[in-house]
Amino acid sequence: MSHPSQDADLRFDGRVAVVTGGGRGLGRAYALLLAQRGCKVVVNDLGGAIRGDGPDTSVAQDLVDEIVAAGGEAIANADTVATPEGGRAIIQAALDTWGRIDVLIHNAGNVRYGSIRDVSYDDFRSVVDVHLMGAFHVVQAAFGPMCDAGYGRIVLTSSVGGIYGNENCVNYGMSKAGMLGLNNIAALEGEAFGVKCNTIVPGAVTRMAEGLDISQYPPMGPELVAPVVGWLAHESCPVTGELIASMAGRISRAFVAETRGVYRPEWTIEDVAAASAAFHDKGPDNPQILDFGLHGHVDHIGYSFAMARSEALIGNTVDN
């Protein structure tokens, strides 16, 4: 159900956003939606083929022309996210034009398939450099200005292929899994400065679906994901350090969880084997799933230490 009055309140007037890979697909949908809501947008896109080859600067410029024709403000940028210099230049384009950077959406990507056994090193590095290293390059460049200004919204891009894995795309899967670490640390380091970082886990039919049989897919265009990214990029968004999935109209939160676990004062290999079923148990008799959240590093250690102390005191161990 639509809520027009609520939607009208969630605007970006006065804000400046950078969208990497903003010329096509998901990035285009993000840039358009933000611009329609009053945001000034740097549309960053090399305009290359799906492998990242053959840059075409008209891709970003065409979207900028469309935004400007509709009364919005935007500029095109064709620097690469794959190098530190390119990352800095992308963010600097926003600072030079409008004097600020409020929102960073890292969406740029390429695809080069290959199994662990067979992928060439060039194809492996090309994908890691754009997806994962590219994320760091633009986040690092934007982080200082955001923290100094006391405000920022960062949206990274992961994938079900990174969270759960998929065959024949080890470079992509590793990159998208690595995004979780950057997301958590940017959220933690930004916490005291009003800078929030979250990750979108999108599912949409774009160029990356080329070659797949999508005849049985439900509607899943980029326009279904864009409002989720818009919410994560908005000043009213209350969450940070989270993974929000959006596919075919479904929105969910993905997260790393732990079972309660088991404790012994000392272990042998045979003890671990015997306890395996217990520390794998997710229910229904042991339904406790621990979601430690943003401060999970500290809370995981604290929980483990507390369990060791309490279990040691009552002598509660796992029977062989």
Mutual orientation of helices 134-149 and 170-190 as an angle, nearest 10°? 10
Distance of CA 256 to the CA centre of its chain: 14
DSSP β-ladder status, 40-44 and 289-290? unpaired
Question: How is residue 278 written in tokens?
Answer: 């217990």
CA dihedral 298, 301, 302, 306 (to 10 degrees): 180
Distance CA 255, CA 180 (A): 10
- Which CB contacts under 8 angstroms, 24+ apart, belong to 93-97? 93/18, 93/42, 93/44, 94/16, 94/17, 94/18, 94/42, 95/145, 97/16, 97/40, 97/42
DSSP per position, 267-283:
--HHHHHHHHHHHH--S
**Of residues 30, 151, 172, 263, which has the active-site annotation?**
172
**14 burial via Cβ count (<10 Å: 0-12, 13-18, 19+):** exposed
Residue type at position 187: A
113 is catalytic: no
Residue type at position 152: G
Residue 10's CB is within 10 A of a number of other CB atoms, namely: 15
Among candidate residues 280, 282, 245, 264, the one with its CA nearest the CA of residue 320: 264
Active site residues: 172
